[in-house]
Amino acid sequence: MDILSSFFDHLAIGASEAFTLQNLWYCFVGVFLGTLVGVIPGLGSLITISLLLPLTYHLEPTGALIMLAGVYFGADYGGGTCSILLGVPGHPAAAVDVLDGYPMAKQGRGGIALFMKCIASFWGSTVGVVLLMMFAPMLAAAALNFGPPEYFGLMFLGLVAASTVGDGSPLKGLAMMIIGLLVSFIGTDVNSGTERFTFGFPDLSEGVGLIVVAMGVFAISEVMRSAGSPNVQPVNQKFSLRDQMPTREDWKRSFAPMLRGSGIGSFFGSLPGTGGGMATFLAYAVEKRVSKQPERFGKGAIEGIASPEACNNAGVGTAFIPTLTLGIPGDAIMALLLAGLVVQGIQPGPMVMSTNPELFWGLIVSFFIGNLMLLVLNIPLIGVWVRLLSIPYQWLFPGILLFTCIGVFSTHYNVFDLYLLLGFGAMGYIAWLLKLEVVPLILGLILGQPIEENFRRTMLIFKGDLSIFISRPISAVAIGVAVFLLIWSVKSQITRKHKL
Amino acid sequence: MFNTFKKALAAGLVAAIALISHVALAEDFPSKPLRIIVPFNPGGGVDTVARIIADNLRENLGAEIIVENKPGGSGMIGANAVVKAAPDGYTVLLGSAGEAAINEFVYKKIQYSPTEDLAPITLVARIPNVMVLSPKVPANTMEEFVAYAKENPGMTYGTSGIGNSQHLNGALLAGMSGLDMVQIPYKGASKQLVDVASGDVDMTFVSYTAARGFITDGKVKALAITAAERAQFDKNIPAIAEYAPLSNYQLENWFGMFAPAGTPADIVDKLNGAIVAALNNDELATKLQNMGGQPAPMTVAEFTAFLATERAQFAEIVKKAGISVE
């Protein structure tokens, strides 16, 4: 009861702030810009926000933050569009949409995929916002219970969940994950400062970024593949709004995945440092695992869009919890937003809700408004986007290559990243020829470093005592579930072989 | 005779032209956009300061200012990019103590010499670290802490990596008080604070901005700051040096502006003037203080002398603590 009444109080404070003409305008500018840069492959919210940040020094803080946050979730919204239609992810977290969205587009169901993406995004972000409003302080306190052993346990569970998900040969999946892990070890070792596997290239000292790998194995390799089969007939697309509507069957299939996805996204979003690509790929892995027909995944299963999209957008909302209430940013974008606030003299922390209630609740209500705007903005646009498919591929791919290169370059202003991009493009192409899945590779890359880092940190702090992983409840549960999953998947492998 | 006169005339003419063109160079400067290289990711301390200053320099210099992030290698990739840039004043580095004065003693593979390859322009800001303790550590003053740490060897402190100013803060404290402490390296301040608040790690030295939320909420104890004196942002936190046995303790992080070596002195002076003017702007000073920084404008000569003192201190700490990266 208490939670509900304070919920409505906060809603009222927030609404009065967010519904000013000025803030509505900032919100619109933010989400509009965000959608635009999100659609362009490789160009994400980080570069846009860092360019916009100095402008906001002259705005009043709430409006500034509303606009920047709008760019952030707008870009997440737009990110899936090219993933679905062209197989080219707008940003790493949207790479997961390629897996089932692109096959859907090839089957002439691109519009439906886009529609479901919009709905799932809206649903996910609504869940995130509601959680943020009702439980922000509690969730922030919960995040404090996650120390190195807990992070290790969770990441380990993620890795196991991911490794048991492949539909082809489990050995191939494992091999790809190990390649991903190996790539993640490139870079500076945090404990000693020594560079590993950099082969004397200083450009590798920060490791290989997710964006380079994701763009390489998805975007570049897709261009290579299409170039290898030049006579692709444009798929038969229908452009009227009615043809973009998901069928009853689609809705039925998507409902539960959206719920699960938003749950996974909210949880990981509120833990600093675990957001972005990891959660969406895990949501996908979970969906595939719980599905009764896992073989449909990767061939145009709408669940493969619904769950990760809901997950992504729920996480975007809850990522503001540690940022605003603890002052600890989960990723580079949150760090930028935080810096913008701090410069304006606003101190994030638990008291931000009492010292700057209009800012805090105004921002949160603006998330909701922004997502509504995105829905209204995007659904009519689906028909326009789908028309992209009627453009012959030979006209499209130079643009795809160009924008992908610009996007990757803009992350570090480093030409070396472009060589890496090409290398991972080739790798993705070879993997496709050999029928190897790239999802385990991406997950290995995302999880490898945090697993190692948190394991070694735990060992340093607890002086090499391995029993800490079992004596801490959260890590014990996570590791227990991981072990159970491992045994289960090995067992089902064996029984499946017996049946054959 | 006539010949000599002709030669002298020619020489004079050349000198005059050279002088004019030289003056013209500084007067025209800047005639195109200027890049500030930030050797860290967007959103970090150096990046935020760079963007605040860029905003001001646009007016002071009348030129477009581009902030470019070149993160990696503990700041050395970005610094090296500036070292290799044309020494014309259009590429400058906003560097931190690490890549400008510490790493040269820590990293054997450093690819540039900060003393020879970088021309100091001015110090921009000092960022004292705050020593914060876990609530589980039963000490509320420096004296109590040192006594407790002596009885409990192996206390842990979080840092943002090897050879970082936080690492040196810990090493200096351990060295001066004869303590046995273990460094726990992280990537950035956020998770250090979470682990200190939960008591997994005993303490950390972080910037005030990063820790403020945790301090005001009582999740961690702000024991002391690493500057020689108490800082503007919170006069309630004593300086480590106020504890008599550590009266010489002073080790802050700082950000300074550098040009590639060989940049003409008048252009360096012009940049110095513009940046110092920006730092003396009240609005900008407030923004810096909001993020735990103390504006620290200097002349080129003052900054050069400051660097020499800092380097000597860093070299000594690194050597005593045996910090080294292959």
The CATH number given to whatever domain includes residue B226 is 3.40.190.10
- Check residue B150 and give its pLDDT: 96
Work out the minimum CA distance from B295 to partner chain A, whole angstroms: 14
One domain for residues B164 and B242: yes
Contact with chain B for residue A328, Cβ under 8 A: yes
With H, G, I as helix, E, B as strand and everything else as coil, classify residue B257: strand
One domain for residues B230 and B142: yes
Please give the average per-residue pLDDT across B38-48, as a whole number.
Answer: 88
One domain for residues B92 and B154: no
- Check residue A9 and give its pLDDT: 81
Domain boundary among B205, B230, B246: B246
Contact with chain B for residue A415, Cβ under 8 A: no
Between the CA of residue A352 and those of A7, A17, A206, A413, B42, what are the distances in Å?
16, 16, 34, 35, 23
Contact with chain B for residue A205, Cβ under 8 A: yes
The beta-carbon neighbor of A332 closest among B42, B68, B185 is: B42
Distance, CA of A445 to CA of A185 (rounded, Å): 8
Q: Answer positive or negative: Cα dihedral of A14, A19, A25, A29.
A: positive
- In B, minimum Cα distance to A58 occurs at B55
Listed in sequence order, the residues at least 6 apart from B172 whose beta carbon sits closer than 8 Å to its beta carbon are B249, B251, B317, B321
**Mean predicted lDDT score pLDDT of chain B:** 90
Distance, CA of B93 to CA of B100 (rounded, Å): 10
Domain boundary among B225, B246, B267: B246
Q: What pLDDT, in 10s, does the model give residues B254-289?
A: 999 999 999 999 999 999 999 999 999 999 999 898
Contact with chain A for residue B99, Cβ under 8 A: no
Domain ranges of chain A: 2-499
Listed in sequence order, the residues at least 6 apart from A471 whose beta carbon sits closer than 8 Å to its beta carbon are none
- Check residue A132 and give its pLDDT: 83
- Check residue A499 and give its pLDDT: 53
Q: Is the pLDDT of residue B250 over 90?
A: yes
Listed in sequence order, the residues at least 6 apart from A170 whose beta carbon sits closer than 8 Å to its beta carbon are A163, A164, A489, A493
Letter string b/e over residues B76-113, b meaning 16 or more CB atoms within 10 A of that residue's CB: bbbbbbbbebebbbbbbbbbbbbbbbbbbbbbeebebe
Contact with chain A for residue B111, Cβ under 8 A: yes
Smallest CA-to-CA distance from B194 within B168, B224, B217 is with B217
- Chain B residues whose beta carbon lies within 8 Å of the beta carbon of residue A139: none
The 3-class secondary structure across A254-287, one letter per residue, is HHHHHHHHHHHHHHHHHCCCCCCHHHHHHHHHHH
Distance, CA of A361 to CA of A82 (rounded, Å): 33
One domain for residues B51 and B94: yes
- The answer to whether B134 touches B201, Cβ cutoff 8 Å, is yes
Q: Answer positive or negative: Cα dihedral of A457, A462, A464, A465.
A: negative
Per-residue pLDDT band at B24 (split at 50, 70, 90): very low
Does residue B19 fall inside a structural domain? no
CA atoms within 13 A on the CB side of A460: 24
Please give the average per-residue pLDDT across B216-225, as a whole number.
Answer: 92
One domain for residues B224 and B259: no
- Chain B residues whose beta carbon lies within 8 Å of the beta carbon of residue A461: 156, 184, 195, 200-201
Distance, CA of A457 to CA of A122 (rounded, Å): 38
- Check residue A231 and give its pLDDT: 57
Contact with chain A for residue B187, Cβ under 8 A: yes
By residue range, what is the domain housing residue B190? 129-246
One domain for residues B242 and B133: yes
Q: Do A328 and B69 touch (CB under 8 A)?
A: no
Contact with chain A for residue B60, Cβ under 8 A: no
- Check residue A237 and give its pLDDT: 58
Does residue B276 fall inside a structural domain? yes
Residue B73 CB-density burial (10 A; 0-12 exposed, 13-18 middle, 19+ buried): buried
Letter string b/e over residues A285-322, b meaning 16 or more CB atoms within 10 A of that residue's CB: bbbbbebeeeebbbebbbbbbbbbbbbbbbbbbbbbbb
| Helix axis angle, A303-318 to A61-86, nearest 10° | 160
Q: Do B187 and A414 touch (CB under 8 A)?
A: no
Does residue B278 fall inside a structural domain? yes
Distance, CA of A161 to CA of A285 (rounded, Å): 7
One domain for residues B153 and B236: yes
Distance, CA of A32 to CA of A38 (rounded, Å): 10
Listed in sequence order, the residues at least 6 apart from A113 whose beta carbon sits closer than 8 Å to its beta carbon are A84, A97, A100, A101, A104, A105, A302, A305
Q: Do A342 and B198 touch (CB under 8 A)?
A: no
- The answer to whether A83 touches A215, Cβ cutoff 8 Å, is no
One domain for residues B144 and B213: yes
Helices (H), B63-188: 76-84, 97, 103-106, 114-117, 142-151, 165-177
Helices (H), B29-139: 45-61, 76-84, 97, 103-106, 114-117
Distance, CA of A199 to CA of B301 (rounded, Å): 40
Residues of chain B numbered 270-309 and touching chain A (CB < 8 Å)? 286-287, 290-291
Distance, CA of A146 to CA of B1 (rounded, Å): 89
- Check residue B9 and give its pLDDT: 59
Token pair, residue B132, equals 């914060």
One domain for residues B165 and B90: no
The total number of structural domains that make up chain B? 2
Listed in sequence order, the residues at least 6 apart from B35 whose beta carbon sits closer than 8 Å to its beta carbon are B65, B66, B67, B68, B90, B91, B92
- Check residue A225 and give its pLDDT: 87
Distance, CA of A86 to CA of A84 (rounded, Å): 6
- Check residue B241 and give its pLDDT: 95
Please give the average per-residue pLDDT across B143-170, as a whole number.
Answer: 94
Does residue B20 fall inside a structural domain? no
Work out the minimum CA distance from A471 to partner chain B, whole angstroms: 14
Please give the average per-residue pLDDT across B47-54, as a whole number.
Answer: 92
Give the best residue of A151, A206, A343, A462 to mutate against chain B (max B CB count within 10 A). A343
Task: Report the CATH number that the domain containing residue B106 is assigned in CATH.
Answer: 3.40.190.150
State phi, psi for B256 to the nearest 5 degrees.
Answer: -135, 155
Give the best residue of B200, B206, B326 to mutate against chain A (max A CB count within 10 A). B200
Q: Answer positive or negative: Cα dihedral of B21, B23, B24, B25.
A: positive
Does residue B12 fall inside a structural domain? no
Characterize the bridge pairing of strands B65-69 and B129-133: unpaired
- Check residue A88 and give its pLDDT: 85
- Check residue A369 and give its pLDDT: 92
Work out the minimum CA distance from A179 to partner chain B, whole angstroms: 23
- The answer to whether B13 touches B42, Cβ cutoff 8 Å, is no
Strand ranges of the sheet holding B253-260, from the earlier edge strand across to the other edge = B65-69, B34-38, B91-96, B253-260, B118-127, B294-295
- The answer to whether B41 touches A335, Cβ cutoff 8 Å, is yes
Work out the minimum CA distance from A98 to partner chain B, whole angstroms: 28
Q: Do B187 and A453 touch (CB under 8 A)?
A: yes
One domain for residues B233 and B149: yes
Q: Do B291 and A414 touch (CB under 8 A)?
A: no
- Chain A residues whose beta carbon lies within 8 Å of the beta carbon of residue B322: none
One domain for residues B107 and B96: yes
Smallest CA-to-CA distance from B195 within A472, A233, A249, A126 is with A472
Contact with chain A for residue B209, Cβ under 8 A: yes
Does residue B215 fall inside a structural domain? yes
Give the best residue of B41, B232, B324 to mutate against chain A (max A CB count within 10 A). B41
Distance, CA of A166 to CA of A493 (rounded, Å): 12
10-residue averages of pLDDT along chain A (500 residues): 73 85 92 87 79 82 90 86 86 86 88 91 90 79 86 88 67 86 91 87 86 90 82 58 80 92 89 75 86 86 92 88 81 83 78 81 89 88 80 83 88 88 95 88 88 94 93 94 85 67
- In A, minimum Cα distance to B48 occurs at A339
Distance, CA of A79 to CA of A120 (rounded, Å): 14
Q: For residue B295, give the H/E element and its range.
A: strand B294-295
Domain boundary among B246, B274, B299: B246
Contact with chain A for residue B33, Cβ under 8 A: no
ipTM: 0.84
Per-residue pLDDT band at B14 (split at 50, 70, 90): low
The beta-carbon neighbor of A348 closest among B107, B154, B213 is: B213
Does residue B154 fall inside a structural domain? yes
Residues of chain A numbered 262-321 and touching chain B (CB < 8 Å)? 272-273
